[in-house]
Amino acid sequence: MSVFLWLISLIITLLEVGLSFAVGYLMVLTLAALIAHRKGFPAQSFIGPKTRFAVMVPAHNEERLLPRLLSSLTQMAYPKNLFDIYVVADNCSDRTAQVGREKGAFVFERSNENEIGKGYALNWLLNQVQGTKVGSYDAYVILDADTTVRPQFLTVMNSHLLNGDLVIQGYYAVSDPGQSWSVGLRYAALAVLHYLRPLGRCFLGGGAGLKGNGMCFQADLYHQLRWSGSITEDAELFSILASWEPQPKGIRVAFAPRAYLEAEMPVDLSAARTQNQRWESGRRQVASTFLPTLMKKVFKNKSLIALDAAFDFLIPPTSYLIAAILMCLAGGVALGLVGWGWGVALWAVVIFTGMFIYLGAGLLMVHAPRQVWLSLLFTPIYLIWKVSLLIGLTARRARPGWVRTARN
């Protein structure tokens, strides 16, 4: 029996070592983000509007949500003659194209049943934009059709570009987090993933990462890029930028917390299943493909940007970290009750405290509403759902294709 208990204790201890590394990294980012948040980082000179933008919107059957985005864009505190809106109605069977035109956007309709997905649609749309006679652009902005943006969005992006940034990620948040507890938990997750971590990473010299929405690219660079058909095309493009060969250190993605946008999220877990399956499967695929390339860049060129990107892939999602910590805690308590000692349980408590500080700091920095804090009470249900999702994906070992996520 003692050999069995020793083996269990060893397994939990080794798991806690890995968790300590991950949570320690997140605590470093938390401290850096708190300093940056207090200083108002990233510090930049706000320059008057000079950049000419092409705002590109991939839309698949978005007749209900697209008008909200287009209305928010028409309310931009930015000269109307310095930006144009382009919508690709991608394989649509509804009135997306008609709605886009009625709201003043340039609309292109694409029908391709072999190349399905956002990456293909964006590549095709760029070709159409370059073929128009409207004129050339200094930068391209990518926005999802279920999004709304704040009036200063393009003003902030303009300042970043004129201060020398080539790629910028805005703060991508969740709209109406009070709809349900699952939306509230998604708001909490994105508070740390889309605000705290990019803020901390950029403060330490890394990059913000690309979140798939609210991204801005300097035109000359964007013309050299192509989106893949990957189900997580944003993570793949970020890896390409971090390991970009023409630049010895890679290309850094800047973070623009004042470029605020928010998107609709699935109102319940059943509607969020396909989206989460796509993210989890795609994350593993991109990590396995690009981690060797990133590490080669780290050792060859001493690239902090590539190292930062590699670390981001190595850290598991917040829900998995919390679930693993709780399992270690339960195992440690069980060992303590049979007289084996309480060391591993106490260690798990310390690690869990670090995660609590990380999550709490993120919510405080984004001024999370009361409903979001209350939604944390449902965390156990969400953790069980996420772990079951991971087990299902691992058992099937199948790569889910692109499926439109159901919204409220």
Q: In which residue are the tokens 């940034």 written?
A: 165
Q: Strand runs (DSSP E) across 185-250, as ranges?
A: 215-218
Q: Are strands 253-263 and 147-149 parallel, antiparallel or unpaired?
A: antiparallel
- How many whole angstroms from its chain centre is CA 347? 30
Cis peptide before 79 (omega within 30 of 0): no
Query: Which residue in 293, 43, 28, 264 sits closest to 146, CA to CA?
Result: 264
CB neighbour list of residue 59: distance below 8 Å, 6 or more residues apart: 66, 87, 88, 89, 90, 92, 96, 100, 145
pTM of the model: 0.90
> Do 8 and 222 touch, CB atoms closer than 8 A?
no
> Do 70 and 86 touch, CB atoms closer than 8 A?
no
Q: What is the pLDDT along the chain (408 residues), one digit of tens a residue?
A: 588 888 889 999 999 999 999 999 999 999 999 999 988 766 566 778 999 999 999 999 999 999 999 999 999 999 999 999 999 999 999 999 999 999 999 999 999 988 888 999 999 999 999 877 666 899 999 999 999 999 999 999 999 999 999 999 999 999 999 999 999 999 999 999 999 999 999 999 999 999 999 999 999 999 999 998 777 889 999 999 999 988 888 999 999 999 999 998 888 777 666 667 666 777 778 888 889 999 999 999 999 999 999 999 889 889 899 999 999 999 999 998 888 778 899 999 999 999 999 999 999 999 999 999 999 999 999 898 888 877 776 665 544 444 555 555
Cα–Cα distance between 234 and 157 in angstroms, integer? 19
